[in-house]
Structure 1
Amino acid sequence: MQQNQGWVHLLNQQLEQQQASYRIVNASISGETTGGGLARFDGILASQQFDILLIELGGNDGLRGFPPKLIKHNLLQIIDKAKAQNIRVLLSKIKIPPNYGQRYNQMFEQVFVDVAEQTNVTLLEFFIESVATDPALMQSDGIHPNQQAQPTLAANMKALLDAALRE
């Protein structure tokens, strides 16, 4: 899928049409882990000014079975760096397929709740959930949403952002 077909691009088009007060900057890299995001974060901060940081990281860590303590550590460091720059942080919940086992999945999902509570950041719901359960909206890997799902994801994220930004 091309970048201009993804939910971030679609959401930015909608925000522009609505003359919204914000835009989304997609600093993600396919396959990124929290460790990779942390390693690149100083460079991202140096490249642009940001008022708000939306962290939607951790899925690839979970898919690789990384220890939840490591994921938490990386997320906490990213948030600390953002807060040191007076950047408001929003953290998106992430879920992984159930085949990783109930114990790991619970520990993995709890990371996001714990990090949000510990850092007092806004925790957004898992915005992919409504498409993740529909095979017609998923790529053949069953993990990544396909092109047809992108408008729904953009709408889901816009609703979450609108609610969070009203707080």
Structure 2
Amino acid sequence: MNEKEVFRQNIINWLQEAEEKADELWNKDQNQVKLYFKGNDERKPIGIISDRDMCVFPEIKDNYLYADKSYLIDHYLNRHYDNRLFENIQNILDNRTNIYFDTVQKSIGFVIKKNNFVDCLFVKPFDGKIVLFASTYKQPEFRLKSKRYKKITPANRQEK
């Protein structure tokens, strides 16, 4: 199993755990879910950011994308109840159309365009690692046209 498959399996395992604990965690806020996993809140790699895109994180040497178990389970159960969305993380990283900087939340967004919609992963450097901060799926592309988002990469950038 290659690294990307291992990281995808981390996500799948957490989603299965979410299903097992859904009755206890449904409609809880993020802090309540974090408290539920206190002492067992793993942070694991869930994706790999390409070398070509690591230039937006000059202070970070580790190109893995990490997530905390409580964060991923909370967002799966209480925000995006669709496992496809989370299993699509590496696809967005590998095939991003653009990268944006969110000037309000100070995060970096990897975006893949599909027709007039975009799937986005927003990440932040934290404690020497790149950590999943937010995810949105099938959002109208025009939302990224606001002054809040600054495009970092051109859409047709092709690097080796």
TM-score, normalization by structure 1: 0.23
Question: Which structure features the higher share of strand residues?
Answer: 2
